[in-house]
Structure 1
Amino acid sequence: MQYALQAAPMALTVAQAMTLPGMRMRLLAGRAGLTRVVRWAHVSELADPVPWLRGGELVMAIGLGLPADPAGRHAYVERLSGAGCAGLAFALGEAMTAVPEEVLAAADLHGLPVLEILTPFIAVTEAVARWHADERVRGERRVVAAQEAMARAALLSGTSGILRALAEHTGGESMLLDPQGKPRAATPAGERPWHARAREMAEGAARRSAGVLDDGIEAVQVQSLGFSGPPTGWLAVCTASPLEWHARMLANQAACLLAMELLGVRASRAKAHAQRGALLAAVLDGRLSPRQLGELCPVADPPYEVVVARAAVPVETAAEVLEEVVGDAAEPALVCSRSEHTVFVLPEGPEGGRRRGAELCARLGVPGGGCRAFGLDELPSAVRHAAALAARGDGYAHVDDLETSALLRDAFVPEAAHRFSAAALRPLREYEARHGGDLVDTVRAYLEAGSNLETAARRLGVHRNTLRRRLAVAERVSGRPLTDPGHRLQLWLAVSLGDLVPPGRPAQTS
Structure 2
Amino acid sequence: PVPWLSGGELVMTIGLGLPAEPDGRRAYVERLAAAGCAALAFALHEAMEEVPDDLLDAADACGLPVLEVLTSFISVTEAVARWHADERVRGERRVVAAQEAMARAALAHGTAGILRTLAEHAAGEALLLGPHGEHKHAVPARERPWHARAAEAAAASGGGRSAGVLDDGIEAVQVHSLGFSGAATGWLAVRTASPLDWHVRMLTSHAACLLAIELLGLRVGRSRMHAQRGALLAAVLDGRLPAARLGELCSVAAAPYEVVVARPGVSLEAAVEALEEVTEAGDEETALVCVRPEGTVFVLPEDPGLPGEQAGGRLGEQQAGGRLGGQAGGRLGVRLCARLGVAGGGCRAAGLEEVPAAVRHAAALVARGGGDGYAHVDDMEPQALLRDAFVPEAARRFSTAVLRPLREHEARHGGDLVGTLRAYLEAGDNAETAARRLGVH
- Using the size of structure 2 for normalisation, the TM-score is 0.80
Match of 2:375 in 1: 397
Matching of residues 77-116 of structure 1 within 5 Å = 77-116=29-68
2:322 paired with 1:370: no
Q: Structure 1 unaligned runs (5+)?
A: 1-48, 424-505
Q: Secondary structure at the match of 1:322?
A: helix
Q: Name the SS for the 1:358 alignment partner.
A: helix
Distance change (3 Å), C-alpha of 1:293 and 1:124? same
Task: Map Cα deviations across residues 336-378 of structure 1 (whole Å, 9 max, x no partner).
Answer: 0113421011112234566532343344343321111111111
**Residue 372 to residue 341, structure 1, CA distance change in 2 (3 Å):** same
Which residue of structure 2 lines up, in the alignment, with residue 198 of structure 1?
A: 150
Cross-structure match for 2:334: 358
Output the CA distance in 2 between the equivalents of 1:340 and 1:151. Answer: 44
Q: Distance in 2 between matches of 1:50 and 1:286?
A: 85
Contact 1:399 1:405 in 2 (8 A): no
Q: Aligned partners of 1:330, 1:317: CA distance in 2, in Å? A: 13
Cα distance between partner residues in 2 of 1:417 and 1:110: 88
| Bigger radius of gyration | 1
Q: What amino acid maps onto 2:176 in structure 1?
A: Q
Residue 183 (structure 2) pairs with residue 230 (structure 1): yes
For structure 2, the residue ranges without an aligned partner over 5 or more in a row are: 307-327, 388-421
Q: How does 1:118-267 map to 2 (within 5 A)?
A: 118-207=70-159, 208-267=161-220
Distance 1:57 1:241 in 2: 18
In the alignment, structure 1 residue 385 sits paired with structure 2 residue 361: yes
Say whether the 8 Å CA contact 1:174–1:236 is kept in structure 2.
yes
Quick one: structure 1 residues 145 and 419, their matched pair in 2 at CA, closer, same or farther if it must change by over 3 Å? Answer: same
SS at match of 1:74: helix
Cα offset, 1:317, TM superposition:
2.2
Measure, in 1, the Cα distance between the counterparts of 2:434 and 2:6. Answer: 90
Are 2:300 and 1:322 aligned? no
Give the AA of the match of 1:343.
Answer: V
CA drift of 1:112 comes to 1.8
Per-residue deviation, 1:96 = 1.5
Structure 2: distance between partners of 1:338 and 1:416: 25
Counterpart residue type for residue 98 of structure 1: E
For the residues of structure 2 that align with 1:126 and 1:228, how far apart are their CA atoms?
A: 45
Match among 292, 295, 298 for residue 338 of structure 1: 292
Preserved CA contact (<8 Å) 1:370 1:399 = yes
Q: CA deviation at 1:417?
A: 4.2
RMSD (CA atoms): 2.6
1: CA distance, partners of 2:102 / 2:84: 26
Residues 1:349 and 2:303 aligned together: yes
- Count matched residues: 378
Shift of 1:418: 4.0
Compared CA separation, residues 327 and 205, structure 1 to 2 (3 A): farther
Change (3 A) 1:382 1:59: same
Aligned to 1:194, the other structure's residue is in SS state helix
Q: Deviations over 1:220-265 (max 9, x none)?
A: 2222212223322221211111111111111111111111111111
Distance 1:58 1:300 in 2: 67
Residue type of the partner of 2:170?
I
SS at match of 1:85: coil
Comparing 227-236 and 167-176, the one that deviates more: 227-236
CA deviation map 1:371-414 (0-9, x unaligned): 11111111000000011111112223221221415369999525
Q: Return the letter of the residue paired with 1:419.
A: A
2:297 maps to a residue whose letter is V
CA distance in 2, matches of 1:243, 1:180: 25
Q: What residue identity is the alignment partner of 1:392?
A: R
The AA in structure 2 aligned to 1:167 is A
Aligned counterparts of 1:144 and 1:261: Cα–Cα separation in 2:
20
Partner of 1:413: 425
Kindly indicate whether the alpha-carbon contact (under 8 Å) linking 1:300 and 1:332 is maintained by their aligned counterparts in 2: yes
Cα deviation, 1:278-316, whole Å, max 9, x if unaligned, reads 110011001111111111111111221111112143322
Q: TM-score, normalised by structure 1?
A: 0.69
CA distance in 1, matches of 2:30, 2:247: 79
Q: Distance in 1 between matches of 2:247 and 2:26?
A: 85
- On the 8 A contact 2:427/2:434 being kept in 1, the answer is no
Q: Is it true that 1:70 corresponds to 2:12 in the alignment?
A: no
C-alpha distance in 1 between matches for 2:305 and 2:182: 30
Aligned to 2:313: none
Higher mean C-alpha displacement, 344-353 vs 373-382: 344-353
Rounded Cα–Cα distance in structure 2 between residues aligned with 1:204 and 1:351: 31
Secondary structure in structure 2 of the residue aligned to 1:235: strand
Partner of 2:10: 58
Match of 1:274 in 2: 227
Identity %: 70
Q: Taking structure 1 as reference, are residues 196 and 415 closer, same or farther at Cα in structure 2, changes over 3 Å only?
A: closer
* Secondary structure at the counterpart of residue 145 of structure 2: coil
After TM superposition, the structure 1 stretch with the greater mean CA deviation from structure 2, 150-159 or 101-110, is 101-110
SS in 2 for 1:97: coil
Task: Give, in whole Å, the separation in 2 of the partners of 1:52 and 1:266.
Answer: 53
Residue-by-residue CA offset, 1:441-472 (whole Å, 9 max, x unaligned): xxxxxxxxxxxxxxxxxxxxxxxxxxxxxxxx
- Secondary structure at 2:6's aligned position in 1? coil
Which shows bigger deviation, 335-344 or 312-321? 312-321
Q: Distance in 2 between matches of 1:416 and 1:151?
A: 56
Tell whether the 8 Å contact from 1:312 to 1:339 is kept in structure 2 after alignment: no
Name the amino acid aligned to 1:338. R
**CA spacing shift, 1:95–1:344, aligned 2, 3 Å:** same
Residue 406 of structure 1 aligns to which amino acid in structure 2?
A
Tell me the secondary structure at the aligned position of residue 254 of structure 2. Answer: coil
3-state secondary structure, aligned to 1:249? helix
What is the CA–CA distance in structure 2 between the aligned matches of 1:194 and 1:106, rounded to whole Å?
A: 40
CA distance in 1, matches of 2:59, 2:167: 31
Amino acid in the other structure paired with 1:199: A
The aligned amino acid for 1:71 is D
What do residues 56-95 of structure 1 show as CA deviations (whole Å, max 9, x unaligned)?
1111111122111101111111211221112111222222
- Residues 421 and 236 of structure 1: is their aligned pair in 2 closer, same or farther, counting only changes over 3 Å? closer
Q: 1:422 to 1:118 in 2, by over 3 A?
A: closer
Residues 123 and 415 of structure 1, relative CA distance in 2, 3 Å threshold: closer
Distance 1:213 1:421 in 2: 60
Would the aligned equivalents of 2:123 and 2:192 in 1 still touch at CA under 8 Å? Answer: yes
Q: For residue 305 of structure 1, give the secondary structure of its aligned residue in structure 2.
A: strand
